Amino acid sequence: MRMTVRIAVAGASGYAGGELLRLLLGHPDIEIGALTANSSAGDRLLKHQPHLLPLADRELQDTTVETLKGHDVVFLALPHGHSAALAEQLGDDTIVIDCGADHRLTSADDWTRWYGGEHAGTWPYGLPELPHGRDALVGARRVAVPGCYPTVSSLALAPAVDLIEDEVVIVAVSGTSGAGKSLKTNLLGSEVMGSASAYGVGGAHRHTPEIKQNLSAAAGRPISVSFTPVLAPMSRGILATCTATLKDTAANVREAYEKAYADEPFVHLLPEGLWPTTNAVLGSNAVQLQVTVDADLNRLVVVAAVDNLAKGTAGAAVQCMNLALGLPETTGLSTVGVAP
């Protein structure tokens, strides 16, 4: 006999909310409860998520504590800064999985610098594949789902932190869905198609302190992070190119990655000679990695691919829910991508 877990999704009309529902529809232990939105409250879900036919007739409700409470798990897929107030009122009998940034950073100063306002506090960080990453997640009542760029960047470099100097350079090419459904001119199809553009250049992207936090924690010393995101003409996927100078020319880099991820169900080091593509992880919870060393510079280069909406957001959220509930970590998740 299986337990049925009743969940709610706040922010069900957006891309992260839609992806959560897509994955939860395939999860054998889940019953989908309340779906909430803001300006779209009152609409049928089909209008906003035409790919979720089994939920087509569900009505979006207002995002209120009253609507959300009483579920076993509440997923928050809200703009930054909207999670804390809701979460406080939900109580510890509800597991809250926050896909927003509110509870990711450990430093209140960092929060204030990068997001503004007061820090809402730090929750267990939802990247189990980091060193000791699972410890705080098993049985957790609150989880902060990592940002999409920090997920792929941290997994790409964490196994090497003892082998590298203190500064890493990351350039991550991303699809546009990471920006959500915001109505901005630069996100219009006519602007995006056929074009690449960088943004948040010079350390200005808010995921920078989160990557730094993860790598520094893994290293046990401060790691500096030069991070540049680049928008490419695709809906989903991030391909991160991550480089750092090796301390030692003789470092066995590949071995470090093999060891780190040997038992991880979702992080996959590709055989030598094959390189990741974002297509191969589309819709899946997998991260595909390849590593090499530029011998002329003694520089490590790691390339990693992730689906920003799946393992980069909603897949991680489901994975963390599984850990929080004591379910097998991979339940309802897959390493099979949708390609081509």
Paired with 39 in beta bridges are none
Q: Enumerate residues 6+ apart whose C-beta is below 8 A from 202.
A: none
N-terminal to C-terminal alpha carbon distance within the chain: 38
Site map 71..90 versus its own copies, x via CB under 8 A = --------------------
Judged by CB, which is closer to its own copies: 62, or 264? 264
Residue of 305, 318, 325, 327 interacting with its own copies (CB under 8 A): 305
Q: Is 189 in the site for its own copies (CB under 8 A)?
A: yes
Q: Which candidate in 99, 148, 242, 320 is catalytic?
A: 148
Paired with 163 in beta bridges are none
Cα 140 versus chain centre, distance: 18
Residue of 193, 221, 247, 255 interacting with its own copies (CB under 8 A): 193
Judged by CB, which is closer to its own copies: 108, or 338? 338
Q: Is 280 in the site for its own copies (CB under 8 A)?
A: yes
What the block records as the tokens of 123 is 């929750």
Contact call for residues 147 and 104 (beta carbons, < 8 A)? yes
Tell me, what amino acid is at 177? S
Specify whether 242 is catalytic: no
Q: Is 322 in the site for its own copies (CB under 8 A)?
A: no
Spatial separation of the C-alpha atoms in residues 292 and 244, rounded to whole Å: 11
Spatial separation of the C-alpha atoms in residues 199 and 338, rounded to whole Å: 28
Q: Is 270 in the site for its own copies (CB under 8 A)?
A: yes
Paired with 299 in beta bridges are 245, 294
Spatial separation of the C-alpha atoms in residues 160 and 177, rounded to whole Å: 29
Task: Looking at residues 102 to 161 of the shown chain, list those that interact with its own copies (rule: CB under 8 A).
Answer: none
Site map 7..26 versus its own copies, x via CB under 8 A = --------x--x---x--xx
Q: Which stretch binds its own copies (CB under 8 A): 82-90, 119-127, 141-149, 294-302?
A: 294-302
Judged by CB, which is closer to its own copies: 82, or 268? 268
Q: Which of 214, 220, 224, 218 is nearest to 166 (CA)?
A: 224
Task: Looking at residues 195 to 234 of the shown chain, list those that interact with its own copies (rule: CB under 8 A).
Answer: 195-199, 201-203, 224-226, 228, 230, 232-234
Task: Looking at residues 234 to 253 of the shown chain, list those that interact with its own copies (rule: CB under 8 A).
Answer: 234-237, 239, 241, 243, 245
Catalytic residues, by residue number, are 148
